[in-house]
Each structure stands twice: as structure tokens, then as C-alpha cells.
Structure 1
């Protein structure tokens, strides 16, 4: 019986993962369309030092060389 529960759990998790993957852009637009969730997402990302450094380098760097 315990094995059946694990199998059902893995199956449902796989189906959910597939659905999220198929609709990932729609979900991102829905999440980032909400002001409170967007503010939370941006503040969370800016709390990660590596991402914050990359963003600040990109925004505050001098003019890039265009060929």
C-alpha cells in the first residue's frame, strides 16, 4: 500500500511539473502581473549577491562597444 502511495505521488508530481513547464511563460506573466508578487520577486532576486552584482554591472557600466 505504501508503494502505491509513492507511485501516485511521483505520477502527480510529474504531471504537475509537465503542466508548469508547458505553461511557464503564461505563469510568469500571471505572477509578474501582480504588483505585490512582482515586488517580492524582485526584492528576493536582489538579495542574492551574484545576481545583484550582474544587474548593477549591466545597468551602471559605461557604453558598450558596438561593431
Structure 2
């Protein structure tokens, strides 16, 4: 029982501090070139995100 409560408290604490300092963590992770390339590549693999990004950058008819 004590181990379960400790685990829940630890996960909750990590989640709280991760959320509180989320922008610092993102900046720290994206400072590395290969992590930035991995993040952008994985986000651009989603078709909806890719289409929206290309429409924004190159103009074109917007879908509503």
C-alpha cells in the first residue's frame, strides 16, 4: 500500500513540475539539432498538420 502511494505521489510530482516548467523543457529539448529534426519530422508526418502548414507558408485556398 505504501509503495503504491509513493508511486502515485512521485508521478504526480513529476507531472506537476513538467507542466509548470513545460516551456523551459521544450526549449532545452529543441536546442539539440537532432532532437529538433526528430520533433519536426514526427509532427510533419501527420497529414492534417502538414497540409495546414503548407497552406499557411505557400498560400493557397483555405479549407473551412
How many pairs are equivalent?
A: 60
SS at 1:8 equivalent? helix
Specify every segment of 5 or more residues in structure 2 that has no aligned partner in the other structure, as ranges. none
TM-score by length of 1: 0.81
RMSD: 1.1
> Where do 4+ consecutive residues of structure 1 move more than 3 Å?
none
Match of 1:65 in 2: none
TM-score by length of 2: 0.84
Q: Deviations over 1:1-58 (max 9, x none)?
A: xx32222111101000011111111111111110010000000001111111111111
Q: Distance in 2 between matches of 1:4 and 1:55?
A: 49
Q: Distance in 1 between matches of 2:15 and 2:56?
A: 33
Specify every segment of 5 or more residues in structure 1 that has no aligned partner in the other structure, as ranges. 63-67
Please tell me whether Structure 1 or Structure 2 has the larger radius of gyration of its CA atoms.
1
